[in-house]
Structure 1
Amino acid sequence: MTSSRSSATVPTAPDHRERLSLPWWLWLAGLAAAGILAAEIWMGADGIRAWLPFVVVLPLAVAALWWLGRIEVAVRDGELWVDDAHLPLRYVADVIPLDAAGRREVLGPGADPLAFVVQRPWLPGAVQVVLDDPADPTPFWVVSSRNPVRLAEVVLAAKATPR
């Protein structure tokens, strides 16, 4: 015996998540610079100066490189999350994907000082999220992204999806 279930298809909001981590070549350059700095501090000395610079400087460099690439951009639960800042999608008026030239124009000499900006220079793309919140003086967010077109599509689709 089979039961007939009425399953209404409820559209679900798409989710998006990306980490703005450093590319491998920046890790290589950062660790090389830290190794050179540790060797400069060492300078052929013996005793504690022979190993302490390497034990201190190299882990600090790893921590700094990890910290630079820790930012996560996500669209979930009706909000755009950038690290620990979040924006309810009901306040989004428009989302514009930006290439390197567009990002330079938005963040250039005529940039709005009230804009919320999370930029990673090793990522050429970004999105500009235009806000529609009369209570908030922030006119827009500019957020770096590896795939700005996809992020813009997901934000607009999640905004249009009923909760």
Structure 2
Amino acid sequence: MTQTQASPSYHERLWPTPALLGVLLLLIPAVTLVVTPIDKTLALPVAILLYLIIAGTLVLLSPTITVRDGMLTAGRARIPVEFLGDVESLGADALRTAIGPGLDARTHLVIRGWIHRGVRIAITDPQDPAPSWILTTRHPERLAKALGKS
């Protein structure tokens, strides 16, 4: 099967979860309580507007991970697949360690706190200062397969 520029071999948008957007609904009563002493008529509209701004920002700024035409794109960063080494799938505990105490400060990160799995991809390009990329993804095995590293 041949790949065309129109069809990536992997594409994922790191959307916020419905649970996160649901929890953010708690902003509405909280903001309403804070604004009510100032102006009762504006309290609820301000609270709803603030929720919509925050939820909309999370949705609009959700990065994508794409593998297309021999190029891995994660957020705004891109790297040719030929410069990628081993891909390590990270479960919740391994991801927490990888981005916590086990993190090399030079590592490129594209992570979202509401996604609890990911991959660590070794970088083999000697010109690249980052030794690896850590990406959160809901489908680590599919991403590794798309990179040809499964």
TM range (shorter): 0.7 to 0.9
Unaligned 5+ runs, structure 2: none
Answer 1 or 2: higher relative contact order, Cα 8 Å, separation at least 6: 1
Question: Of residues 102, 117, 126 in structure 2, which corresponds to 1:134?
Answer: 126
Partner of 1:110: 102
AA matched with 2:27: A
Q: CA RMSD in A?
A: 2.2
Give structure 1 stretches of 5+ with no counterpart.
1-9, 158-163
Distance 1:97 1:55, change over 3 A: closer
Q: Secondary structure at the match of 2:148?
A: helix
Deviation at 1:109, TM superposition (A): 1.2
Query: Does the aligned pair in 2 maintain the 1:114–1:139 contact within 8 Å?
Result: yes
Whether the 8 Å CA contact 1:95–1:156 is kept in 2: the answer is: no
Aligned counterpart for 2:21 among listed residues 23, 27, 38: 27
What is the rounded CA distance, in whole Å, between the counterparts of 1:55 and 1:25 in structure 2? Answer: 18
User: 2:46 is matched with which residue?
Assistant: 53
Query: 1: distance between equivalents of 2:47 and 2:100?
Result: 39
Q: CA deviation at 1:52?
A: 4.8
What TM-score does the superposition give when structure 2 sets the normalisation length? 0.84
The aligned residue for residue 17 of structure 1 is 11
Name 2:90's counterpart in structure 1: 98
* Residue range with higher mean Cα deviation, 70-79 or 98-107: 98-107
CA contact (8 A) 2:11 2:64 kept: yes
Sequence identity, in percent? 27
State the Cα distance separating 1:74 from its structure 2 match.
Answer: 0.7
TM-score using structure 1 length: 0.78
Distance in structure 1 (CA, Å) of the matches to 2:95 and 2:43: 46
Is the CA contact 1:81–1:87 (under 8 Å) kept in the aligned structure 2? yes
Tell me the SS of whatever aligns to 1:103: helix
Per the TM alignment, residue 134 of structure 1 is displaced from its structure 2 partner at its CA by: 0.8
CA contact (8 A) 1:98 1:128 kept: yes
Alignment: residue pair count: 145
Alignment-mate amino acid for residue 155 of structure 1: L
Q: Note closer, same or farther for the CA distance 1:50–1:138 as it changes in structure 2 (3 Å cut).
A: closer
Q: Does the residue aligned with 1:18 lie in a helix, a strand or coil?
A: strand
